[in-house]
Structure formats: C-alpha cells, structure tokens
Amino acid sequence: SNSKYRGFILVLTFLFYTAYHLSRKPISIVKSELHRNCSNIIQPKDINITNNVTWCDWPPFDQDNYQTLFGVLDNCFLVAYAIGMFFSGIFGERLPLRYYLSIGMLMSGLFTCLFGLGFYWNIHSLGYYAFVQVMNGLVQTTGWPAVVACVGNWFGKGKRGFIMGVWNSHTSVGNILGSLIAGVFVSTAWGLSFIVPGIIIACTGVLCFFFLVESEFQFVRQNPKYFPKVSFRFEAISFLGALCIPGVVEFSLCLLFAKLVSYTFLYWLPLYISNVAHFEAKEAGDMSTLFDVGGILGGILAGLVSDYTGGRATTCCVMLVVAAPMLFLYNYIGQRSLGTTIGMLLLCGALVNGPYALITTAVSADLGTHESLKGNARALSTVTAIIDGTGSIGAALGPLLAGVISPSGWNNVFYMLISADVLACLVREQSLSVYLHRINLFLFNANANQLI
C-alpha cells in the first residue's frame, strides 16, 4: 500500500503552505505598533519630543494618512501576488515542483526577513518596504499551484472535499502561528516579528528540497511493485485551454468576491479590534486568530457536506448566504462582551473561509482533473493558478477598499464586505445552471468525437 506515502505528502505540503501563510501574517499585527496613540505612553527622558501624539510611531507611518500607507503596503504584496499567480501555474506545470517550491520558500524567507531588517537598519522609506512587499508577493505565488498540484497528483476524487478541507486548514494554522509569533516580538522589537517567520519558511524550503516526491508517477518509477498497471498523462495545458474547462471562469469570479472578504479580515481585523474594542496590539492580534480558528472548522465542514451531498456549488452558496447577515451582526453586537466577540469571530470565520477553502482546494482539484482532460494531471497547476489568481484580484481589492473607506467609519467597511459576499453568491448561483449545461455539452461533444 502507498497510503503511508500519501499521508507523508499530505503532512509535508501542509507544513509548506502553513509556512507561506505564517510569513504573510506579521504585517497585520505590526501595523498597530507602527502607528500608536503615543500620548498614553510614558516618554523616555533621553529623547527630544516635538509631537506628543506621534513621537513613538515609526516614520513614515506617523502621519495622518497612515491607513492609506498601510493600504499601499498591502496592495504592493497583493497586486504582485495576483499578477504573478497567473504565470506561476504555467511555470509550475513545466518545472519540477520540488525545485520550484524550494526556491520559492527560500526567496520568501529572504524578503520577509528584509522587511524586518528595516527595523534594525533604521529604514524609514516607504519605497523600501513597498519594494520588499512587491518582491515577496511575486515569490509567494510559487506556493499554491505547486502544493495543490502535488496533493491532486496523489489523491483521487473520492472523498477529496473532506481531505482537502482538513488539509486546507494550513491557511488558518499559518495565520494563527504567524499572529502569535509576531505578537511575541511586536511590542519590543517588531523586526523580529518578520525575521523569525522568514527563517521558518526558509527552513521548510530546505525540507522540501530533500523530502518532496511530487507525484505518484515518481513514486511508481522508483517502486513499480506498488502500481504495475498505472498510466499517466503529463502534457501541459494552455492558459486558454484551462479557461475552457467548464466551471473554471464561474468559480474564479465567485472566489474573487469571497477572497475580497477573507483578505480584508486577514489584513484589517487586528486594527479594527484595536480601534473599536481598544485592545493593545498583542491582544488584538491574539483575538483576531479566532477568525482563523473558525476558518479551520468552516473549511472542514464545507468539505464534509460537499462530499456527502455531492454539491460543491450549493455548499458554497448556502454558506455565503448565511455569512452576509452574520457580518452585519458582528459589526453591531460583536464588541458588547468578550463572549460575544469570541462567538461571532468563530462563526464569521467559518462562514467566510468555508466557501473560500472549498473553491481553492477541492473544486480546483476536481476541475483540474475533469473528465474532459482524459486524465491529464498536469492541467491541475494551471487551473489552480487561474482560480486563485482571479481570487487574488479580490484579495488585493478588499484591503485597498478598506484602507480608503475606513477613515469614514468601520460601518461602511462592513457594508462593503456584505455586498461582496452577496455578489459572490449571485455569481455562483447565476452560473450554476450554465455550468451544468456546459459540462453536458462538453461531454456530449467528446463522446460524439469518439464515435466519429
């Protein structure tokens, strides 16, 4: 049996993508340290202070436009990530995944550390931090298409929703660990909030280089006794060819709006909790991890339900429909008591991240190994990249809109998030019948061609 090898690959790829997310999270925790209300902090005697309100801030984030500047940093990463993702899947199909992932993680470690070194090198240039964010955004695109292709190569369709639901909790586990690690150093030396995660992802890159077996095909070549009669197709698919697979465009647009909501929470929730509930930077960061704990539960639940019912699209839609009123409720009653805050964060995390997790993993893998491709496993990387790349446009838009809207009040940010949730559901619902029709048409044509 090769089940132990499958388990090993699952654990290994889980660790890899946990490290990717772990290294993305620190900036959201450090934001509330880069700009604080300094009038409440005891002033050291050896510093000549000219402004009581901003003396403890880190320039250039000591100005009134600090939220816009934070938005710029978020978007440097997210726009680079969204653009890079469309190319990443194409490279991921044509290069050995082991080398591709290893180099990606080592480079991600380098740029994450460079952001933190700005603290020790006393760098106050927005351009420096923006450049590091752009480069980090580009190299981080190596992760997702490669790990999904790896898991898709090892696991059949069967109970993929549940397996992918459990496995996809790496996103939330990485966010939680990133928040906790960054929180340890944020108030003393925020540079270490980036350097420690940077070292961790670089180490996982070394682990990948030595231990990753990227597909059953490699395993079969080395251990033919396990699979004497297995055949594989490994031709790369074109970008347009992947777009023509039924469901790819529809799920991509649905993910755009779902990821807009998820990433706005990822980047702005600690600051929201800090502003509204008046928590310190570390407390707000720790509290925000509850959203990700909810995300883990939501991803597993979505996977289980979709496996049981066979309806990926319906599961996504129901969760998105329920998420909209829950976001509205969280904004109005979420900060009344500690118990309410915890409960609402868990619930909103599950409902927002459940559909997002299902689309990016199980759906991507199902579409990438669609019957129309006749077993071509290589298409998986490109399909995953198209869906996640489109979703990443939403991931870039969300924090950008939050940065623009938040000065006018947090209520307006939540109205924007609720609208995006409703749009995600509408896109999915409108395209469901079209999706089913296209599948039938696609398979009918394929059968007709075989008869001819």
Helix (H, G, I), strand (E, B) or coil at 201: helix
Residue 342, both tokens: 């915890």
Query: Which residue's structure tokens are 């939403």?
Result: 394
Measure the CA–CA gap between 250 and 161, rounded to whole angstroms.
19
Q: Which domain holds residue 295?
A: 1-450
Q: Report the mean per-residue pLDDT for the chain.
A: 83
Where residue 126 sits, what CATH number does that domain have? 1.20.1250.20
* Count of domains observed in the chain: 1
> Band of the pLDDT at 204, cuts 50, 70, 90?
very high
Residue 441, both tokens: 């048409």
Residue 21, both tokens: 């997310």
Render pLDDT for 26-59 as a digit per residue (tens, 0 to 9).
998 998 889 887 777 777 766 666 666 778 889 9
Which carries the bigger pLDDT value, residue 291 or residue 335?
A: 291
Q: Which residues pair with 233 in a beta bridge?
A: 376
Query: Which residue's structure tokens are 């934070």?
Result: 70
Which carries the bigger pLDDT value, residue 83 or residue 45?
A: 83
Measure the CA–CA gap between 7 and 241, rounded to whole angstroms.
32
Tell me the whole-structure pTM to 2 decimals.
0.80
Measure the CA–CA gap between 320 and 310, rounded to whole angstroms.
18
Q: Which of 154-168, 263-277, 365-379 has the highest mean pLDDT?
A: 263-277
State the first-to-last Cα distance of the chain, in angstroms, to the nearest integer.
40
Q: Are 18 and 147 in contact (CB under 8 A)?
A: no
